[in-house]
Structure 1
Amino acid sequence: MLHCEDPVPEPAPPPSLAPPQGATDGGRIAIISASVGAGHDGAAAGLAARLAAQGFQVDRYDFLDLLPAGAGRLLCGAYHRMLTWAPEGYQRLYAATDRASRPGAVWRALFRAAEPRTLRALAPDTRAVVSTYPGAGQVLGALRRRGLLTVPALTYLTDFSVHALWVAPGIDAHLAVHPVPAAQAHARGAAAVTVAGPVTDPRFTPPAPGQRAAARRRFALPAHTPLALLVAGSWGVGAVRRTAAEIRRTGAAVPVVVCGRNQSLAEQLRRDGVEHAFGWVDDMPGLMHACDVLVQNAGGLTSLEAFAAGLPVLSYRCIPGHGHTNAAALEEAGLAPWIRDPDDLGPVLAELLDGPRGRTQRVTGLALHRRAPGPVPVIAARTDRRPSPIAPPDRPAPKRLRGRRRGPLTAVAVTATVCLGVAAPLAHAYNETPARFTAVAHYLDGAAR
């Protein structure tokens, strides 16, 4: 049981990534991600590795741990429940917050509650802070505006589409993976938008001679059959069983499904007759080497990894919210077609497997990783050499950050996340999702102020 009067523990010491032996000391960079799915953390890990290779000391933080009294985990659980049990509600909530000129009252309270812990977590010699999660960017931007964070704060836009929460006043620079999200961020008023390019694990490369056959043997996959790799994020959400069945019916490819941590989904697929259904896969580069095309429903990090591996990608039966907007942005960029009509699935799969469209998309995907230098040069150029990321002691924090307000902020955070976590399944269970979530989205949009 959570109690608002319970003391808030200090954040755990961050995992640090030291420069390799012999590298030049470039200073300390903090990266704030969030363990919401795996995409934000995956981008943070790749960025940390590249910064360390350039001589920076890197500290990583989970934004969920910076929220008070376990509210971050409640928020993550609520988000998971909405995607799983009430996707229509998540679509409404996503659209409502995307239309807002600023975060609504509930979100502002959550972000404000994270500010003291964020400041306490940063090491005194931090020279810059990078966010790979929208909520963290909102907190850093607010701290910069009020002069409580004295070193540059940057946001690395990990999605191909830019939701309103990604753009925070006070952030010094916004780094995008492609001109399409860069243009969206610029249109929303983001500061210093730069096309930096994607960051993925260096193991994601096109297969060398013999690697494809070896990977198929390792995963016990057919040696010569066209294979469509179907992914649904680390949570295994969306219409995965339906999509797998439809891929089989096309006859163009055999589905190979990765269910992430959703082991029950993998078991259901095997009962459905899908022979190649996996849970969590550590060797995703190898599995991509084994397959011929990627079918995705969210447009996240896995799509960027597929481009680096030389796989053509298509979007199909996308999850609500960011799944739809990312699919639209990938299609606009010419990187992945978005299949909206099931009758088009078979013909497009055939084109990507054997036709010129597939060859073109392989070239386009690989070029995405090769034509931009990556975010490290931009971050390094913004590195601040001032000694402390926190305002000096003779400049006291505003009263709203002091301890006596911690209890009310915690209460707001916990109440908001509990309400989200409980309202979603209840609304779905009583088949009243649209009516219930219209009111929730209206409030979170700030219109209830």
Structure 2
Amino acid sequence: MEVSAPKILILYASYGEGHVQAARAIMDSLRRLGHCEVQLLDLMAESHPWLNGLTKFVYMQSFKTIPQLYGWVYNITRGMQAKSAFGHVLHSFGMRQLALTLKKELPDLVIHTFPQLALPALRRKMGMNLPIVNVVTDFDLHGRWLHPDIDRYYVATEDLQQEAAQRGIPIERIAATGIPIHASFYNLSVNEVPDQQQVIPPLQTETTTLLIMAGAYGVLSGILDICRHLSRLPQLRLLIVCGRNQQLKAELDALYADHPDIYTYGFVGYVPALMRASNLVITKPGGITLSESIASGLPILVFKPVPGQELNNALYLQQKGAARIARTTEELIQHCLDLISTPSLAKEMKQAIELLRKPHPADQIAEDILLQLVDKRTSVRTN
């Protein structure tokens, strides 16, 4: 009798691109390695569409207009307990929709790439023997991710693995795989642009290429001022990714149409190729973009990180020697000049990045999950 393919449900949220990108990376690996049936579900959007829209708006506005308040709330709740009164409320959203989905789809395992953890309580209520795993998508560990009834954790680093263990999670349940990103950041033949020369002009001798991820979750603060300063530096080529911000791209195109070393891009599928053609990157410190930069071996410059997970991500990588933080345009330009004029500094950062680099995190996560499902498709709990 032929055994049916495993069915896996991945729960994510659309608060920025990172959580869904992680979900898609895992989905691709599971389908390729295990021929699984994989379904993605934006639980908050499906279960509470009005509230989802409101909270996304509030999140974005607080992120942009009152970042200090956002950071204060993030840090004061960082040590929260899942089974506290606050934790019960926070993890109660989406329970009804999730119950309907479980009854309909009957998954063999559920993955979270966003810490909306209605499932542990629902699993007990429904009497299900259903493995649950969490994929932490930052270099910082907020208490929302931690729940004693989660069967497996996948985290960015060994430091997070140790921290989760110190906060009560059995260490055998925690794997330091890295944050899942698209396979094209590791495999040169995957998702490559048809003719890279048409998109990314060839390097000239003694030219440094700086990639600016300006469209990472909104607009990189002060991008026009940054470009104005950088455009004056000799032997520097700028590749500016504006994402879905068409207005920003139009402004930059108008300003630098005749500049021979400034190239702008909208929302493109060949960021891996752009990173491979670059020597440095300026970005907002989201977990996914940082992981993509690390996979590409790029020294990272972080500009004005927002307090909360962004700042904590940036501080961690700066502590490890893989990134530098700039809080003013002048400081950012100086960091660029230092790295361009002193190759040994960039070399040291690359060496630090190599220590953080994890080989194919999405594949590692998929392989580990598939191993747990081989025998009984019951539980990934190893204790």
**Paired residues, number:** 361
Aligned to 2:111, the other structure's residue is in SS state strand
Match of 1:83 in 2: 63
- For the residues of structure 2 that align with 1:111 and 1:121, how far apart are their CA atoms? 17
Aligned residues with identical type, % of pairs:
23
Match of 1:301 in 2: 288
Given the alignment of the two structures, is residue 375 of structure 1 paired with residue 365 of structure 2, yes or no? yes
- For the residues of structure 1 that align with 2:305 and 2:184, how far apart are their CA atoms? 27
- For the residues of structure 2 that align with 1:146 and 1:332, how far apart are their CA atoms? 44
TM-score (norm 2): 0.80
- Structure 1 residues 322-370: Cα deviation after superposition (integer angstroms, max 9, x where no partner): 11111122234444344565444421354469853255256446x4226
- For the residues of structure 1 that align with 2:86 and 2:361, how far apart are their CA atoms? 40
Aligned to 1:257, the other structure's residue is in SS state strand
Q: CA deviation at 1:64?
A: 2.6
Q: Contact (CA 8 Å) 1:142, 1:169: kept in 2 or not?
A: no
Q: Contact (CA 8 Å) 1:238, 1:319: kept in 2 or not?
A: no
Q: Alignment RMSD, CA only?
A: 3.6
* Within-5 A mapping of 1:268-347: 268-270=251-253, 273=256, 275-339=262-326, 341-342=331-332, 343-347=334-338
1:59 equivalent among 29, 32, 39? 39
- For the residues of structure 2 that align with 1:86 and 1:216, how far apart are their CA atoms? 42
- For the residues of structure 2 that align with 1:321 and 1:347, how far apart are their CA atoms? 28
- For the residues of structure 1 that align with 2:14 and 2:367, how far apart are their CA atoms? 26
* 1:132–1:199 CA distance, 2 compared to 1 (3 A): same
Structure 2: stretches of 5+ with no match in the other structure? 379-383
* 1:220–1:353 CA distance, 2 compared to 1 (3 A): farther
* 1:94–1:250 CA distance, 2 compared to 1 (3 A): farther
- Structure 1 residues 296-325: Cα deviation after superposition (integer angstroms, max 9, x where no partner): 222321222223333333333223311111
1:197 equivalent among 159, 171, 178? 178
Q: Contact (CA 8 Å) 1:221, 1:276: kept in 2 or not?
A: no
Match of 1:96 in 2: 76
Aligned to 1:314, the other structure's residue is in SS state strand
* 1:179–1:251 CA distance, 2 compared to 1 (3 A): farther
**Amino acid across the alignment from 1:139:** A
1:115 equivalent among 75, 95, 103? 95
Q: CA deviation at 1:32?
A: 0.7
2:347 equivalent among 350, 353, 356? 356
Q: Contact (CA 8 Å) 1:257, 1:277: kept in 2 or not?
A: yes
Q: Which has the higher contact order (CA 8 A, sep 6+)?
A: 1
* 1:238–1:153 CA distance, 2 compared to 1 (3 A): farther
TM-score (norm 1): 0.69
Q: CA deviation at 1:202?
A: 1.9
Match of 2:209 in 1: 227
**Amino acid across the alignment from 2:208:** P
Q: CA deviation at 1:62?
A: 0.9
Aligned to 1:129, the other structure's residue is in SS state strand
Q: CA deviation at 1:117?
A: 0.6
Q: Contact (CA 8 Å) 1:206, 1:309: kept in 2 or not?
A: no
